[in-house]
Amino acid sequence: MTYTIKEVSEKTGITPYTLRFYEKEGVLPHVKRDENGIRMYSDSNIDWIETVQVLRSTGLPLSEIKEYVELYKGGDSTLQQRKHMMARQKGKVEEQIFRLMKTLEKINYKMALFDAQEKEFEKLP
């Protein structure tokens, strides 16, 4: 099945401008065009777009995503390099999660203090 840029934009939440930019920057490989030059996206392209979205959300710069795409194009001989890149990014995400959990603990502690103060306030005559 193929999709137009508008359909992909609606499906992924990424603007057509950004989709064209990703293709131009080399982070969205293998986008085919019809006889009129209109981009026709495949399910595989959508999977790549979702991968780019996930990697961007972790703070990975486009230059490193492009490096990953180039490695992917290199085939199985680059598997270990790609795995290493993902493992490094996974570690960064785990660190982000750890920091967010600590932040959430602090917020929950403060909320518990507020709840206790409200109960004390309600007891006042």
In this prediction, residue 53 carries a pLDDT of 93
Instruction: Please give the average per-residue pLDDT across 56-72, as a whole number.
Output: 92
Instruction: Please give the average per-residue pLDDT across 78-83, as a whole number.
Output: 96
Cα 38 to Cα 13: distance, rounded to the nearest angstrom: 20
In this prediction, residue 87 carries a pLDDT of 96
Instruction: Please give the average per-residue pLDDT across 47-72, as a whole number.
Output: 93
| Closest to 83 measured CA to CA, from 98, 94, 72 | 72
Instruction: Please give the average per-residue pLDDT across 71-89, as a whole number.
Output: 94
Cα 60 to Cα 102: distance, rounded to the nearest angstrom: 23
Task: Using pLDDT thresholds of 50, 70 and 90, give the confidence band for residue 120.
Answer: confident
**Contacts of residue 43, Cβ cutoff 8 Å, sequence gap at least 6:** 1
| Closest to 16 measured CA to CA, from 33, 4, 28 | 4
